[in-house]
Amino acid sequence: MSIAERAKELRAEIEKHDLQYYVLDAPLVPDAEYDRLFRELQAIEAGHPELVGPDSPTQRVGAAPLPEFLPVAHRTPMLSLNNAFSPAEVEAFDRRVRDGLEAGDEVEYSAEPKFDGLAVSLVYEEGIFVRGATRGDGNTGEDVTPNLRTVGNLPLRLQGGSSPHVLEVRGEVLMLRGDFDRLNARQRESGEKEFVNPRNAAAGSLRQLDSRVTARRSLRFFAYGVGAFDGAGLPATDHTHSALLDRLIAWGLPVAAERRRVRGLAGLLAYYAEIGDKRAALPYDIDGVVYKVNDLAAQEQLGHVSRAPRFAIAHKFPAEEAVTELLTIDIQVGRTGALTPVARLAPVFVGGVTVTNATLHNEDEVRRKNIHIGDTVVVRRAGDVIPEVVRVVPEKRPILAPEFVMPKSCPVCGSHVVRGDDEAVARCSGGLVCPAQRRQALLHFASRRAMDIEGLGDKLVEQLVDGELVRTPADLYRLRLTAVSNLERMAEKSAGNLLAAIEKSKRTTLARFIYALGIRNVGETTAKDLARHFGSLDRLLAADEARLLQVNDVGPVVAQSLRQFFGEPHNLDVVEQLRAAGVVWGEGEAAPTATSAIVGKTFVLTGTLPSLTRDAAKALIEAGGGKVTGSVSKKTDFVVVGAEAGSKLEKAQELGVAVIDEEQLRELLNKKGALH
């Protein structure tokens, strides 16, 4: 046997043992025998470097430090999940699924533990692991390929053959509780800072610039799905999420052993109870379970909204609780002027972090819970995210503990505090004159989905406000180079870049501008609906509440918020100042009318169009009063197809939905008169 053949044999043997040990939890040989095989392979590769490949088990030991993490664009977005915290919310999810699928019977779901780790994406080409990235913002992550190569149970080569030419696997990197305890013991012995929890340790380990450090941290990977793929290899008959996970296991990828197929609401809640009972005994941390519609075609039909799929939801476990002392209550003034009482607490470890502050929501909530300053209180991290005071321990209340009183004037600007008869929230009446609101209003105005002013972040906004260079968003467009370059950490070049970004932001869209104003209850989607309905800001300003209620998804609360905002003279002054400064957003464009051929019609785009990008086609359809969705259903009016159209075209033909090309789309966009 040649040296090359022996190295190949050793790699195959070690990969088999890695699968048995890390994935199947059924080792075939003692550790000493495994170590002997591994050392033999290391010796061969040391003497014959030409035999070392990226898929060799020896490459898990880590490489030299990286200068930085490079960005990686995910081929398909890594969506987040909506959360449910009660059986009623799970019931509502199941009802939405059945309604969306028009299913009379119980729906089958795949139920899985929700790992408390770091989401990653792995790319395999011809069965070889070539790239791995963090979730990032869902569209773009960080390239952490060298670090992921060190994860012991992550296969560098897929087993069994017949994998797609390109396969993108989605999953979670985490640290087992036992490995976490051992890591912290080493940290203590060396006098280094301990990690707060396994997730914190896993995230910090995966983002090390030196992958040799990562290799010493004992990370694990668990797959939970597939993103993009090219070529055959996925289940050909059983088109379900469960079958997909079975195929991942066949390729050597670890998947949670606790997953189940369940039916209907009863099955979901029974699984939740089962995993809840096992939670403390599991080797890794979980913060809930995940329910996914099992049928992949049904998933496609349901599609997604914003950044979350309609076919899946995370059912979170009750948050952990702890007891501590409430030292005092401060008032936090928000971007919209809302005054929120915040409990300042004696530090307490709860839900995996040390908590020193907790929300009290509003004055009524403080009264309802009978909270006094100095009380001993029970603190919970609601949904494992936002700390809140759950209740007091009345028997431990100090004598003469003072009650909380909402201030009559804003603690930031001194303006009068008002509260509507039907509102639970008290608000500062200072509006844009209140520095607390001004900072947040400016940050929101400049944010990426609003006016998108690159470089205008927290520290800079704080200096602009504190230096009284900017009082309203309109003042941004009056800034001068000398004033900006004199700010801390701002040289002339960086000041020039900021002013260029501000100048660039003058050309925007009506939807972005409406969203940028920071109107209560008006988010990005509502701003788009308003822009599409009215076509110009003047029409929106002139609309009464009845006209506003005609807008898609605008109810009485949103309509009242709009009228209150535009009913304030200082808000209208800011709008006019912005216009005078040269901010334009297509003012005067006609709004879609009832005679437009596509008003109210639903479109789905698939394939590559000859001259329009997907975003450009969507913008044209929305400008004409149509709606673009991501999946084909009986409610779809048109499917616009281009080159290499996929399953959406087949679904349209199956349902009898009209199929058109780009030229026919343009004809519709130019056509007047309702379609029949």
CATH number at residue 655: 3.40.50.10190
- pLDDT at position 421 is 66
Q: Are residues 257 and 329 in the same domain?
A: no
Torsion of CA 603, 641, 649, 302, to 10 degrees: -30
pLDDT (0 to 100) of residue 21: 53
Domain count, the chain: 6
C-alpha 26/C-alpha 19 separation (Å) is 9
Q: Which residue has the higher pLDDT, 661 or 42?
A: 661
pLDDT band of 62, cuts 50, 70, 90: very low
Mean pLDDT across 270-288: 90
Beta strands in 78-218 (DSSP E): 83-84, 108-115, 118-125, 128-134, 140-142, 166-175
How would residue 236 be classed by pLDDT, with cut points 50, 70 and 90?
Answer: low
Between helices 614-623 and 524-534, what is the axis angle to 10°? Answer: 50
Statement: residue 428 has pLDDT above 80: yes
Q: What is the β-pairing status of strands 417-418 and 386-392?
A: unpaired
Query: Residue 137 contacts by C-beta under 8 Å, 6 or more apart in sequence?
Result: none
Q: Is residue 215 part of a domain?
A: yes
Residues 504-508, mean pLDDT to the nearest whole number: 93
Average pLDDT score over residue span 117-143: 89
Residue 183 identity (one-letter amino acid): L
Q: Which of 286, 316, 346 is the last residue of a domain?
A: 316
Cα-Cα-Cα-Cα dihedral of 571, 458, 349, 271, to 10°?
70
Of 278, 293, 316, the last residue of a domain is 316
- Asked if residue 61 is part of any domain, the answer here is no
Confidence of residue 248 (pLDDT cuts 50, 70, 90): very high
In-domain check, residue 88: yes
Domain shared by 390 and 309, yes or no:
no
Whether residue 250 sits in one domain with residue 185 = yes
Greater model confidence, 66 or 567: 567
- Residue that is last in its domain, among 448, 478, 504: 504
Assess whether 276 and 163 both reside in one domain: yes
Q: Which of 207-211, 359-363, 453-457 is predicted least confidently?
A: 207-211
The pair of three-digit structure tokens given for residue 373, joined into one six-digit string: 């300053």
Considering the domain architecture, whether residues 296 and 173 belong to the same structural domain is answered as: yes
Determine how many CB atoms are found less than 10 A away from the CB of residue 580.
10
Task: Record the tokens describing residue 236, joined without a space.
Answer: 């050909």
Q: Do residue 337 and residue 268 come from a single domain? A: no
pLDDT score, position 199: 82
Q: Is residue 20 in a domain?
A: no
* 21 domain residue, yes or no: no
Q: What is the CATH number of the domain that holds 125?
A: 3.30.470.30
Where in the sequence numbering do the catalytic residues fall?
114
Per-residue pLDDT tens over the stretch 485-504 = 888 888 888 889 999 999 99
- Average pLDDT, stretch 652-671? 88
Q: Are residues 365 and 289 in the same domain?
A: no
Percent share of the chain, pLDDT over 70: 91
Residue span of the structural domain in which 554 resides: 510-580
DSSP three-state, residue 251: coil
**In the prediction, which pLDDT does 41 show?**
86
Distance CA 138, CA 612 (A): 24
Q: How far apart are CA 673 and CA 292, in angstroms?
A: 42
Q: Is residue 411 part of a domain?
A: no
Nearest CA to 519 out of 361, 337, 333 is that of: 337
Q: How far is CA 28 from the centre of its chain?
A: 41
Report the distance separating Cα 220 and Cα 65, nearest Å: 21
Per-residue confidence (pLDDT) for residue 600, from 0 to 100: 76
Please tell me whether residues 275 and 236 are part of one structural domain: yes
| Alpha carbons 444 and 453: distance in angstroms, whole number | 10
Domain membership flag for residue 627: yes
Q: Domain check: are 263 and 117 in the same one?
A: yes
Determine the average pLDDT of the residues in 378-397: 80
**Which residue from 305, 286, 250 is spatially nearest to 628, judged by alpha carbons?**
305
Q: Kindly report the average pLDDT of the chain as a whole number.
A: 85
Residue 24, pLDDT above cutoff 70: no
The domain that holds 574 is classified in CATH as 1.10.150.20
Q: Which residue has the tokens 């109810």?
A: 555
Q: CA 223: distance to chain centroid?
A: 18
In this structure, the answer to whether residues 494 and 519 fall within a common structural domain is no
Measured distance CA(132)–CA(221) in Å, rounded: 12
User: Is there a single domain that holds both residue 566 and residue 613?
Assistant: no
Between strands 658-660 and 638-641, the pairing is: parallel
Is the confidence at residue 40, as pLDDT, over 90?
no
Residue 412 lies inside a defined structural domain of this protein: no
Do residues 360 and 484 share a domain?
A: no
Q: How confident is the model at residue 89 (pLDDT cuts 50, 70, 90)?
A: very high
Question: Do 342 and 359 touch, CB atoms closer than 8 A?
Answer: yes
Q: What pLDDT, on the 0 to 100 scale, is given for residue 253? A: 94
Cα torsion 577, 539, 531, 569: sign: positive
The larger pLDDT score, comparing residue 38 to residue 74, is at 74
**pLDDT grade, residue 149 (50/70/90)?**
very high
Quick one: which H or E segment has residue 486? none
